[in-house]
Structure 1
């Protein structure tokens, strides 16, 4: 099956299904490889990876498929310049950069044939990225796990606003998507693909502790929280850490106390150690739409089939 859009044509993939680059969950080869081989775009999350581990993951993906894949690089990470040098030298097919300006990397990657996508969470940053010359945008809305926009504007509104502002720019919508109906909605808004994060957390290949995956399956749509206001906003599942942070924010506790509490927990605690009570269990509101852990290839195929089924249910226009 193929679904042709501006994004699938730009990236050379069959389906407008992008697996989000998620620290620890896709800081490996297994999940990106499975998604790319199934016709979507698998994304290696370079954020927490040592350079030798990242290079090994790239080698494994390239050995397992000839389909395009991406590397997600948070530009603030320690050693980002060294990682960029290595990725540029390897001529990776797609770079998805976040949390920094695109002018820092754009020209040298594009000169080597790498498609450059930039993650944005506001109209202002989208306009600046397009002006800088990015090949496409990943537009994040409030429903997303991890790092939603500070203003908590919904994906429904943010994607539509950016699509209207930047006509002709390929857009990947991110935040709140878990099934083929969501994919159809993303394309209706003017995006050329949808990015799925939490849906791929609940995959057989995601590199997360089983307790983390079980917590995602158990969550309802109202079971996430946003904490870290003025520190670094994140969306995560409600747990002891999230409720403690929320209480400090409700009572206007001092910034230093909130920073200390925030720093006392980490994504790694949940992702690798399985401490889903005190760790940062980052996940989006779409967790409430997910009820099974499936192989990643099956998820990709299911999204495409659900998309097709959704289109068949839409009512036609009736004219007198």
Structure 2
């Protein structure tokens, strides 16, 4: 047991990321039932949809679960009202100022974790009163930091600057990677891309297959002038890259992005015109398997490699 196990009352310090168009109640409850911490990804949900997912998750598991809230999305106040009303025990916030909502959530008895991409923001998050930090490296999928700091550098940098527990994210999809993160100072890991390739993820099967088929170099950080995001290279990515190479500003990139681009790709399965958010670790994902098996596989490999290394 470590501080992350104790903080969340979970068996394994393995957190499933709250990814848009992937992390609904089925995935979150499956991970929580397997001994990890499942998160519902509210970034792709209207308030009434989030409420439905929370209620169904409560019915599907008696274990702790949480909600991830990207603070850059609209209707945050309405999402938070639902979270408070439904007495969600754990909230992970990202892409915004943790000072905005942490006091309100903590006053309601909710455990709060904030996702950061630099040690500076980790310190600010600790000062805001969060219970733990997710240090998310450049390898991660979805919205990312402009600094392009890799997990190998970010995790120890953050661990050295804060006293609260650090959860490592970015490039982690196996027990070996989890052990490496612990060696760097983390007490838990947040796993995203590996859980996309599960039957329980709400993503379209076309997207899941694209993740399984991805090779090294098939993803790249894009749209740094707007909101940095790691994408699988496809036709939409090529259009964005051409615009960026020609000097397009944030307004032009926003026009290219349009509306519902992520939904088009990840939820509706349009692999050409959709935004396909996934991490570099997709190159190491070769199959679609149940979430409970992934939790078990990660933990068993973590323990096996840890014991193996003690013989050196």
- TM-score using structure 2 length: 0.96
Pick from 72, 75, 83: which aligns with 1:76?
Answer: 72
Pick from 144, 161, 168: which aligns with 1:173?
A: 168
CA distance in 1, matches of 2:143, 2:124: 20
Indicate the RMSD between aligned Cα atoms, in angstroms.
1.5
Aligned equivalents of 1:147, 1:16: Cα separation in 2: 23
Kindly state the Cα deviation for residue 256 of structure 1 after the two structures are TM-superposed: 4.1
Post-superposition offset of 1:66: 1.4
Partner residue of 2:133?
137
Give 1:44-83 correspondences, 5 Å limit.
Answer: 44-83=40-79
Equivalent in the alignment of 2:233: 238
The count of residues paired between Structure 1 and Structure 2 equals 312
CA offset at residue 259 of structure 1?
3.2
**Equivalent residue number for residue 89 of structure 1:** 85
Partner of 2:12: 15
Is the Cα–Cα contact under 8 Å of residues 241 and 265 in structure 1 kept in the other structure?
Answer: no
1:203 is paired with a residue whose SS is coil
Partner of residue 223, structure 1: 218
Deviations 1:45-87 (A, max 9, x none): 1112122221111111111221110101112222111221221
Aligned to 2:301: 306
Q: Choose from 19, 30, 33 the match for 1:37.
A: 33
3-state SS of paired residue (1:104): coil
Q: Point out the more displaced range, 233-242 or 245-254.
A: 245-254
Pairwise CA distance, 1:102: 1.8
Pairwise CA distance, 1:139 = 1.2
Q: 1:137 to 1:255 in 2, by over 3 A?
A: closer
Give runs of ≥4 in structure 1 deviating > 6 Å. Answer: none
Match of 1:182 among 170, 177, 180: 177
Once the 2 structures are TM-superposed, how far is the Cα of residue 248 of structure 1 from its aligned partner? 2.3
> 1:259-301 CA distances to partner (integer Å, 9 max, x unpaired)?
3223377111112221111111100000011101001111111
2:15 aligned counterpart, secondary structure? strand
Instruction: Please state whether the residue corresponding to 1:103 is helix, strand or coil.
Output: coil
SS in 1 for 2:112: strand
| 1:213 Cα deviation from its structure 2 partner | 0.4
Given that 1:91 and 1:109 are in contact with CA atoms closer than 8 Å, whether structure 2 keeps it comes out as no
Further displaced range: 239-248 or 259-268: 259-268
**Which residue of structure 1 lines up, in the alignment, with residue 193 of structure 2?**
198
Residues 259 and 49 of structure 1: CA distance in aligned 2, closer, same or farther (over 3 Å): closer
The answer to whether the Cα contact below 8 Å between 2:50 and 2:82 also exists between their aligned partners in 1 is no
* 1:114 CA displacement: 0.9
What's 2:146 paired with? 150
